[in-house]
């Protein structure tokens, strides 16, 4: 008796695309894909035609027009006569800066709080619980505004640093904390190699590229030294001391490059009614960074606590039987195994922090949302183009973060044989 999945008799027939189980699922998927693509094409064509009828065809030419506005916090040189594309790139760098600083600080605080929540000390555990419940149950926007208000009201004014007996003083004569921001030393090069400019949109420092190249080569050499030490340990049972070699191949070349470039620090100085020189970290940047970090750290702490509790107690008991102290047991035995549980939800928190950085507009920090979705959109009147570009940028950032941590997660997961 023949069935629908039997080999075709007499050649292929189009009816098999529906009635033959070998082709039916593929037929349904292809038809669905064509339908979805047709729907998107119709929507795009409809929107394009409606915009053209309104006299606003889709056009990204506005990105090459002068921006005409200033950006108070920036990582690269920018002038209000630069084009909108450069202004958007400056905003993108500000977004990436907050995301990187926030993820770093949130991870450190989150891991620390997550571990302390499991402490046998009743007071420490309860204090960490209060921190977690307080921060994660209040909207992050309120924490951002509160951090900004505290910095404006609590820190001294620049004029308080003036006089023979000033009301405030700089930290080690190098950093000043004021209600206008924090001023710290800036790295300078007396024999700078200059910058690369790409179509007037962004610049890349050749000095930075040289330092990163030497640092990358040093890290690679350190890995080779570590692999050689592993081979010697596997062969003899004794691991040679390699820390001085590792430190030498990483630090010495970088110091040599810095010396060749004439590296020195430029310190902030009080000039008139404000500080000049150095790096000015505005209150908006610091408030946004701290608020996002402490808010996200509360969620990371719960992720870390759950990951640690997922590890069998037998691991801790075995480590204790070997004579390991609790701190070393946590660092060498528990946390490395817990990472397999921690990493997947941790990625989501990094993505949330990056997207929550768009709330920077509440405190006047000019990130991607404040530039491209804010002033540029209002000046150009190109709502659709600005929204699409912003969405694509955030999507690209999120996919890069997810991809990087998924690769790491694949490397640390258990290998089944």
Interval 155-167: pLDDT, tens: 888 888 877 777 7
Does pLDDT of 2 surpass 60?
Answer: no
Strands (E) across 190-344 are located at: 195-198, 202-205, 263-266, 269-271, 274-276, 279-281
Q: Is the pLDDT of residue 96 over 60?
A: yes
- pLDDT band at residue 199 under the 50/70/90 scheme: low
List of long-range contacts for 380-384, beta carbons under 8 Å, 24+ apart: 380/62, 380/65, 380/84, 381/56, 382/56, 382/59, 382/60, 382/62, 384/47, 384/51, 384/58
Q: Given this model, what pLDDT does residue 105 score?
A: 94
Structure tokens at 170: 């700089």
Mean pLDDT of 77-86: 85
Q: What is the reported pLDDT for 198?
A: 67
pLDDT at 298: 93
User: 275 in helix, strand or coil?
Assistant: strand
User: Is residue 50 over pLDDT 90?
Assistant: no
Span 39-56, mean pLDDT? 81
Average pLDDT of the residues in 228-250:
85
The rounded mean pLDDT for the chain is: 84
CA distance 171 to 178: 11
Residue 53: band (very low, low, confident or very high) from pLDDT cuts 50, 70, 90: confident
Q: Give phi and psi for 179, each to the nearest 5.
A: -75, 0
Query: Between 21 and 287, where is the model more confident?
Result: 287
- 200-224 average pLDDT score: 84
Q: How far apart are CA 34 and CA 26, in angstroms?
A: 12
How much is the average pLDDT of 67-74? 85
| pLDDT tens for each residue of 357-370 | 989 888 888 888 88
Q: What is the pLDDT of residue 200?
A: 58
- Report whether pLDDT(138) > 80: yes
Task: Please give the pLDDT value at position 134.
Answer: 92
Q: How confident is the model at residue 201 (pLDDT cuts 50, 70, 90)?
A: low
Question: Cα separation of 72 and 351, whole Å?
Answer: 26
Question: What are the pLDDT digits (tens) for 258-269?
Answer: 898 888 888 888
Is residue 301 pLDDT above 90, yes or no? yes
pTM: 0.81
Helix (H, G, I), strand (E, B) or coil at 177: strand
Q: Which of 33-42, 291-300, 318-327 has the lowest mean pLDDT?
A: 318-327
3-state DSSP helix/strand/coil % of the chain, to nearest 5: 65, 10, 25
pLDDT in tens, 372-407: 888 888 888 888 888 889 999 999 998 998 888 888
**pLDDT (0 to 100) of residue 110:** 92
pLDDT at 121 > cutoff 90: no
The tokens for 372 are 């491209």
d(CA 79, CA 87): 9
> Average pLDDT, stretch 192-211?
76
In this prediction, residue 176 has a pLDDT band, given cuts at 50, 70 and 90, of confident
- Output the pLDDT for position 408: 78
Pairing of strands 269-271, 274-276: antiparallel
Confidence at residue 7, expressed as pLDDT on a 0 to 100 scale: 52
Helices and strands (H and E) in the chain: how many: 14, 9
> Mean pLDDT, to the nearest integer, of 309-333?
81
pLDDT category at 171 given cuts 50, 70, 90 is: confident
Q: Between the CA atoms of 138, 139, 144 and 150, what dihedral angle is there, to the nearest 10 degrees?
A: -30
Q: What is the pLDDT of residue 287?
A: 92
pLDDT attached to residue 265: 87
Are the beta carbons of 180 and 158 closer than 8 angstroms? Answer: yes
71 CA to centre of own chain: 21
Q: What percent of the chain has a predicted confidence (pLDDT) above 70?
A: 94
Residues 38-67 as b/e (b if ≥16 CB within 10 A, e otherwise) read eeeeeeeeeeeeebeeeeeeeeeebbeeeb
Res. 300: pLDDT tops 90: yes
Asked if 289 and 100 count as a contact pair (C-beta separation under 8 A), the reply is: no
pLDDT of 136 above 70: yes
């Amino acid at each position: 008796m023949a069935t629908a999945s039997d080999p075709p008799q007499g050649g292929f027939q189009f009816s098999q695309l529906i009635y033959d189980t070998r082709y039916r699922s593929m037929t349904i998927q292809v038809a669905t894909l064509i339908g979805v693509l047709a729907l998107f094409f119709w929507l795009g064509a409809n929107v394009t035609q409606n915009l053209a009828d309104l006299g606003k065809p889709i056009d990204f030419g506005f990105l090459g027009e002068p921006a005409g506005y200033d950006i108070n916090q920036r990582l690269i040189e920018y002038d209000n006569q630069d084009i909108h594309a450069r202004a958007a790139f400056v905003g993108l760098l500000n977004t990436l800066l907050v995301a990187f600083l926030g993820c770093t600080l949130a991870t450190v605080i989150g891991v620390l709080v997550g571990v302390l929540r499991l402490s046998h000390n009743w007071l420490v555990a309860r204090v960490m619980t209060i921190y977690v419940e307080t921060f994660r149950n209040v909207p992050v926007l309120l924490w951002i505004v509160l951090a900004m208000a505290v910095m404006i009201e609590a820190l001294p004014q620049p004029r308080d640093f003036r006089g023979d007996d000033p009301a405030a003083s700089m930290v080690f004569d190098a950093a000043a904390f004021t209600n206008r921001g924090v001023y710290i030393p800036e790295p300078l090069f007396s024999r700078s190699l200059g910058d690369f400019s790409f179509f007037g949109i962004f610049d890349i420092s050749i000095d930075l590229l040289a330092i990163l190249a030497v640092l990358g080569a040093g890290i690679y050499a350190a890995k080779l030294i570590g692999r050689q030490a592993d081979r010697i340990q596997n062969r003899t049972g004794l691991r040679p001391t390699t820390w001085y070699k590792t430190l030498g191949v990483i630090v010495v070349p970088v110091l040599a490059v810095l010396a060749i470039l004439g590296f020195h620090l430029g310190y902030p100085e009080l000039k008139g009614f404000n500080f000049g020189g150095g790096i000015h970290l505005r209150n908006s940047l610091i408030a946004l960074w701290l608020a996002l970090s402490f808010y996200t750290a509360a969620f990371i702490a719960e992720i870390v606590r759950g990951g640690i509790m997922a590890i069998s107690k037998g691991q801790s008991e075995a480590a204790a039987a070997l004579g390991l102290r609790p701190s070393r047991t946590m660092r060498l035995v528990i946390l490395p195994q817990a990472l397999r549980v921690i990493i997947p939800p941790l990625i989501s928190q990094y993505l949330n922090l990056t997207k929550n950085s768009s709330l920077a507009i509440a405190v006047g920090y000019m990130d991607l949302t404040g530039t491209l979705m804010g002033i540029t959109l209002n000046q150009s009147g190109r709502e659709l183009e600005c929204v699409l570009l912003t969405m694509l940028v955030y999507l690209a950032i999120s996919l890069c973060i997810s991809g990087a941590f998924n690769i790491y997660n694949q490397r640390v997961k258990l290998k089944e044989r």
